């Protein structure tokens, strides 16, 4: 599966049609947008120049509504490399010690935080205090308490806080949601989300509890959690969960290897999900109702996403996810656009409440109630 995790391992005719109307795709996999846009442009600095930061930067080269203008990194050599590659001026380059000074830089509108999970909280608070809009990778924080503090800080600073939920703009995903909302699947009964891969280097930050805040659930598992919510269209009210660990040396205390969890929803619908760092070929969403079904496989990779429903194959075009995300987020920040699925900090806090409850359920072995 070609995902953010792979990058990090190597270095350490519907509402949908209207939604994508401004996006003109070319025939190949690296579709770009025609340079006909004449509106406001979101000027972005990326904080964290690792694998996924690189992917976002590359995808932004095709954007017309968002532009990479600055960097924040603790590695001087990376800053120099990015300056050369992306034409970033010296005055828009910062390190982790001095990036509070962006408050005095009128050429930066927003900062995209793409660093290890445990760093998100403090970095987002600093960006908000500097008066800049924030985009933060998921999971937004280590727990719901931290997440709410981030939301409150951005509200107080009167800046927007968005989260890198790229799948919220993915065409086949949105088509299934359209079908569910239109009643084409009937009463929704069940969702299955399988998310996992075999993780590599045992020294990587994702296997360090102090940086990751956990294990697979704090990385690949977020897709199943978030997906269960937007696919079913409800908020879960209870969870049961079981943790399996076959390699306690690689997956130390507090770093989960595999977690299976089950969610219950107000309508009676249920979800059965799996998050793992020890199995490949797991990237599938399945939703079924009284009148039909929908399946995505792969469901959350970088694409192209493949899908089918009880009405046939999904044929919506593939456009580079991060390009679409940044175009759409520019509209959210600059024009107040409301996406079909929310991508704000409040959405992220809901996921964090579910994560908190899953970890509680794995420890207690009992059904844990969720209040969202």
* Domains (range + CATH), the chain: 4-166 (3.40.50.720), 170-316+345-369 (3.30.360.10)
Confidence label for 15 from pLDDT (cuts 50, 70 and 90): very low
Q: Which of 52, 112, 165, 223 is catalytic?
A: 223
Average pLDDT of span 166-183: 98
pLDDT at 33: 54
Confidence label for 36 from pLDDT (cuts 50, 70 and 90): confident
- Three-state DSSP class for 11? helix
112 is catalytic: no
What is the three-state SS of 114-180? Answer: CCCHHHHHHHHHHHHHCCCEEEECCCCCCCHHHHHHHHHHHHHHCCCEEECCHHHHCHHHHHHHHHH
pTM here is 0.91
Q: Which of 52, 94, 112, 138 is catalytic?
A: 138
What is the Cα–Cα distance from 98 to 56, expressed in whole angstroms? 23
* 129 against 20, higher pLDDT: 129
Q: Which of the 8 DSSP states describes residue 258?
A: E
Average pLDDT of span 91-106: 98
Confidence label for 2 from pLDDT (cuts 50, 70 and 90): very low
Assess whether pLDDT exceeds 90 at residue 29. no
Assess whether pLDDT exceeds 80 at residue 31. no
Lowest mean pLDDT among 19-23, 136-140, 283-287: 19-23
138 is catalytic: yes
Predicted confidence (pLDDT) per residue in 133-143, tens digit: 999 999 999 99
- CA dihedral (89, 93, 99, 100) in degrees, to 10, reads -10
Confidence label for 28 from pLDDT (cuts 50, 70 and 90): very low
Residue 184 C-beta-side C-alpha neighbours within 13 Å: 15
Pairing of β 238-244 and β 258-264: antiparallel
């Amino acid at each position: 599966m070609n995902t953010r995790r792979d990058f990090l391992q190597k270095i350490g005719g519907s509402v949908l049609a209207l939604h994508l109307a401004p996006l003109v795709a070319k025939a190949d996999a690296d579709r770009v947008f025609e340079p006909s846009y004449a509106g406001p442009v979101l000027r972005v600095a990326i904080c964290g120049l690792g694998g996924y930061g690189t992917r976002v930067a590359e995808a932004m080269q095709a954007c017309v509504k968002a532009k990479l203008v600055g960097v924040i990194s603790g590695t001087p050599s990376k800053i120099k490399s990015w300056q050369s590659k992306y034409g970033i001026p010296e005055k828009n380059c910062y390190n982790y010690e001095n990036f509070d000074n962006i408050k005095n830089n009128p050429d930066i509108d927003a900062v995209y935080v793409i660093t290890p999970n445990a760093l998100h909280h403090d970095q987002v608070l600093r960006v908000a205090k500097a008066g800049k809009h924030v985009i933060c990778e998921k999971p937004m924080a280590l727990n719901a308490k931290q997440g709410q503090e981030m939301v409150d800080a951005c509200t107080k600073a009167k800046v927007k806080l968005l989260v890198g939920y790229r799948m919220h703009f993915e065409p086949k995903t949105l088509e299934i949601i359209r079908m569910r909302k239109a009643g084409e699947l009937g009463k929704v009964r069940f969702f299955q989300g399988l998310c996992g891969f075999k993780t590599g280097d045992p020294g990587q930050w994702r296997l360090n509890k102090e940086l990751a805040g956990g294990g697979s659930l704090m990385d690949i598992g977020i897709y199943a959690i978030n997906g269960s919510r937007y696919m079913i269209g409800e908020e879960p009210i209870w969870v049961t969960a079981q943790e399996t660990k076959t390699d306690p040396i690689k997956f130390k205390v507090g770093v989960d290897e595999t977690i299976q969890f089950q969610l219950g929803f107000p309508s009676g619908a249920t979800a059965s999900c799996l998050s793992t760092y020890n199995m490949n070929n797991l990237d599938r969403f399945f939703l079924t109702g009284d009148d039909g079904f929908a399946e995505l496989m792969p469901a959350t990779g970088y694409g192209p996403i493949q899908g089918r429903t009880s009405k046939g194959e999904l044929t919506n075009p593939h456009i580079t996810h991060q390009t679409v995300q940044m175009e759409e987020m520019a509209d959210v920040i600059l024009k107040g656009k409301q996406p079909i699925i929310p991508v704000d900090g409040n959405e992220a806090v809901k996921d964090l409440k579910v994560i908190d409850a899953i970890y509680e359920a794995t420890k207690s072995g009992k059904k844990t109630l969720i209040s969202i």
